[in-house]
C-alpha cells in the first residue's frame, strides 16, 4: 500500500471514529493482527483512540493497528436471541 493510500485509509478511519464517538455508538474494531474489540470510543487522540472495551475496559488502539471499524450490532442480534 502506498503512503497516499495509507493516508486516505487513516483519514477514512478517523472520520468513522469521530462519527461513532459523536453519536455514542458501540463499535466493532478488527485489527490487522486478527484480533477484534467491541466497545465505545471514549477519547480520540492524534494517532490513537481510547476504547472502552466491553471485556477489557479502557485500552489504547492506534490507527495503524485498525484494519476495519463498523457499528456494533446489538447484542441480541449477535447472540441470536
Domain boundaries, the chain: 3-79
Helix ranges, the chain (H): 3-22, 75-79
Taking Cα atoms as reference points, which of 66, 81, 80, 74 lies closest to residue 29? 66
Mean model confidence pLDDT for the chain: 90
Q: Please state the pTM of the whole predicted model.
A: 0.83
What is the pLDDT averaged over residues 49-69?
Answer: 96
Q: What is the pLDDT of residues 35-46, one digit of tens each?
A: 999 999 999 999
Which residue matches cell numbers 493516508?
Answer: 7
What is the pLDDT averaged over residues 13-33?
Answer: 96
CA dist 80 and 47 (Å) reads 35
Which residue matches cell numbers 441480541?
Answer: 76
C-alpha cell at 77: 442480534
What is the pLDDT averaged over residues 22-50?
Answer: 96
Q: Which CATH number fits domain 3-79: 3.30.390.10, 3.40.50.300, 2.30.30.100, 3.30.450.20?
A: 2.30.30.100
Amino acid at each position: 500500500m502506498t503512503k497516499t493510500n495509507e493516508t486516505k485509509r487513516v483519514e477514512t478511519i478517523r472520520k468513522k471514529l469521530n462519527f461513532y464517538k459523536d453519536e455514542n455508538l458501540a463499535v466493532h474494531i478488527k485489527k490487522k493482527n486478527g484480533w477484534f474489540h467491541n466497545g465505545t470510543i471514549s477519547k480520540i487522540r492524534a494517532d490513537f483512540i481510547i476504547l472502552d472495551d466491553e471485556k477489557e475496559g479502557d485500552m489504547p488502539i492506534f490507527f495503524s493497528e485498525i484494519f476495519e471499524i463498523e457499528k456494533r450490532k446489538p447484542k441480541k442480534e449477535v447472540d441470536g436471541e
